[in-house]
């Protein structure tokens, strides 16, 4: 993003934009499973989440996903991060850009296992990202070669 010349105005503007984000149609449903009325969000990813997906995100490293309840008081940085992404549709256009044809996303009542597998593939391993944007470690590529894509790589810090 460009430097905002109206830096002093930033928190107010961001808060207003954040309120608009909450009202956006795409943000009325969980970014990962489409459940209605998500009450949580991942600030660094910029997606709105249902409780079940929030629980999976919470189990990820916070540098992968930093989850917060929408009802909490948010810091300006977290608000800015959400506003910058622009909501679920924008985030999914990146994180699900290369989702394989015929691949079914989890439904609102998907099992914990299915949900976890999808969420880790989507954000932690970034499997559906445009290939040039992927920033995964060599450990991951090794794991993938060994067919252990979804499982935790031994020695990986948490």
| Residues in contact with Zn ion by the rule CB under 5 A | 30, 32-33, 35, 50, 53
3-state class (DSSP) for residue 57: helix
Query: Nearest approach, Cβ of 108 to Zn ion (angstroms)?
Result: 6
H-assigned helices in 60-127: 76-85, 88-95, 112-119
CB of 150 to Zn ion, least distance (A): 18
- In order of 83, 112, 122, the CA distances from 64 in angstroms are 18, 19, 11
Give the residue from 40, 121, 46 showing the smallest Cα distance to 79.
46
CB of 43 or CB of 143, closer to Zn ion: 43
The residue among 1 and 36 lying less far from Zn ion, judged by its C-beta, is 36
Nearer to Zn ion, 17 or 105 (CB): 105
Structure tokens at 68: 């917060």
Nearer to Zn ion, 53 or 82 (CB): 53
Main-chain phi, psi angles of 68, to 5 degrees:
-145, 145
Q: What's the CA gap between 9 and 56, in Å, rounded?
A: 35
């Amino acid at each position: 993003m460009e430097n905002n010349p109206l830096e002093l105005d930033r928190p107010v503007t961001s808060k207003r934009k954040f309120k608009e984000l909450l009202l956006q149609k795409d943000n009325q449903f969980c970014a990962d499973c489409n459940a209605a009325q998500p009450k949580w969000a991942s600030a660094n990813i910029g997606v709105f989440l249902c409780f079940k997906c929030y629980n999976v995100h919470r189990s990820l490293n916070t540098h992968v996903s930093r989850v917060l309840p929408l009802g909490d008081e948010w810091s300006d940085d977290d608000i800015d991060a959400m506003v910058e992404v622009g909501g679920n549709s924008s985030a999914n256009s990146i994180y699900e850009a290369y989702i394989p044809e015929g691949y079914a996303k989890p439904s609102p009542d998907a099992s914990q296992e299915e949900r976890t597998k999808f969420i880790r593939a989507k954000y932690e391993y970034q499997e559906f990202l445009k290939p040039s944007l992927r920033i995964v470690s060599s450990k991951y590529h090794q794991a993938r070669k060994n067919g252990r894509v979804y499982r935790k790589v031994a020695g990986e810090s948490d």
